[in-house]
Amino acid sequence: MQKIRIAESFDTSADLILFPNDVNLLLPDIPDEFVSLVVTSPPYNIGKSYERKTSLDEYLAKQEEVIKECVRITKPNGSICWQVGNYVNNSSIIPIDIILFPIFEKYKLKLRNRIIWKFGHGLHATKRLSGRYEVILWFTKTENYFFDVNPIRVPQKYPNKKYFKGPKKGQLSGNPLGKNPSDVWDIPNVKSNHIEKTIHPCQFPIELIERLVLSMTKKSDWVFDPFMGVGSTAIAALMHNRKAIGAEIVPEYVKLTEERIRLAEKGELKIRPMNRKVYDPNNKDNYIPPRIVTLGNEKQPAIFDETENYLEE
């Protein structure tokens, strides 16, 4: 199997462009309409170790610099997915998706979904209800955008249900490949016991990005993450035979990204499978073991069908 080629500067012959510096230094090198998908979770301006807390006006201005360039480099049929939570100050919250929306609207992007990412664990609030969801804003540049729901379908609630009358009597009433996963995704966040956990305090679960990569891109397409972190976007893209570009300013995170990709090359990187149900302490019979990622595998499985056979893309 061919080794994944990683470049530190823009190089179309690479499988992954991992720029170890500020994304604003990389963006001018990326041509117009080059990537098929932009997906990222930007800093939330809450004082994490990898960010400097600023005023909201300054934060929004910096976000707009990056968003404007992301619009430029995205193909006309491409998508931009911005995953955000809340800005919190003395138990008062401001939903970041709401204050960012006018920026995306300014650049004439069209909102397709406001995907709710629901998870069960996090910090416990004392002066308000504990937050247990974040948001993915999915935008497209045009009406002619690429989207294929088939690779990310989930099992039907009643897989054998049939029409009982009419011209379709006796036929299955639902799609046999599964149902549309809807705009509410129940996916565990990466906390201490998560198999993908690294030192990053706000790490993407790979399965969250897999759904976006599989439904919004085709093989060999480029996926861009302006705030790469520890490389979850890159792994989700590479494992499904896409290419990835990203920037990261924290040297430890760049190193971890490279280490995780090299582990995946050797078939030693474990991730949470997309088809695994959320853990139920009262029902341990439906356990699905960790998935082993092998980069460059043309038959990388996507999801289970109703008979627990993998569906290919």
Q: What angle do CA 83, 86, 89 make, to 5 degrees?
A: 150
Please answer whether residues 54 and 280 qualify as being in contact, where contact means their C-beta atoms are separated by less than 8 angstroms: no
Q: Which residues pair with 35 in a beta bridge?
A: 74
Q: What is the pLDDT of residue 12?
A: 96
Q: Tokens representing 150?
A: 């088939």
- How many structural domains are present in the chain? 1
In a domain, 73, yes or no: yes
Q: Which residues in the chain land under pLDDT 70?
A: 1-2, 44-53, 279-281, 284-289, 296-313
Q: What gap in Å lies between CA 40 and CA 52, rounded to an integer?
A: 18
User: Where are the alpha helices (H) located in the chain, listed in sequence order?
Assistant: 23-26, 56-73, 96-106, 206-216, 232-238, 251-265
Place of tokens 């639902």: 174
In a domain, 77, yes or no: yes
Q: What is the pLDDT of residue 227?
A: 96
Query: What's the pLDDT tens digit per position in 220-239?
Result: 999 999 999 999 999 999 99
Q: What is the pLDDT of residue 297?
A: 58
Q: Which residues 6+ apart lie within 8 Å of 193 measured at CB?
A: none
Q: What is the pLDDT of residue 44?
A: 61
Q: What angle do CA 28, 241, 296 make, to 5 degrees?
A: 120
Considering only CA atoms, which of 42, 50, 40 is closest in space to residue 87?
Answer: 42
Q: What is the pLDDT of residue 287?
A: 59
Q: What is the pLDDT of residue 307?
A: 31
Q: Which stretches does DSSP call E strand in the chain?
A: 6-7, 16-19, 35-40, 74-84, 86-89, 92-95, 110-118, 133-140, 184-186, 222-225, 243-247, 269-271, 291-293, 303-304, 310-311
Q: What gap in Å lies between CA 137 and CA 152, rounded to an integer?
A: 18
Q: What is the pLDDT of residue 52?
A: 61
Q: What is the pLDDT of residue 279?
A: 67
Q: What is the pLDDT of residue 71?
A: 98
Q: What pTM was computed for the model? A: 0.86
Q: What is the pLDDT of residue 313?
A: 26
Query: What's the pLDDT tens digit per position in 98-122?
Result: 999 999 999 999 999 999 999 887 7
In a domain, 180, yes or no: yes
- CATH code for the domain in which residue 102 is found: 3.40.50.150
In a domain, 141, yes or no: yes
In a domain, 1, yes or no: no
In a domain, 87, yes or no: yes
Q: Residue 216 is part of which domain span? A: 6-311
Q: What is the pLDDT of residue 113?
A: 98
In a domain, 293, yes or no: yes
In a domain, 20, yes or no: yes
Pairing mode, if any, of strands 184-186 and 222-225? unpaired
Query: What's the pLDDT tens digit per position in 16-32?
Result: 999 999 999 999 999 99
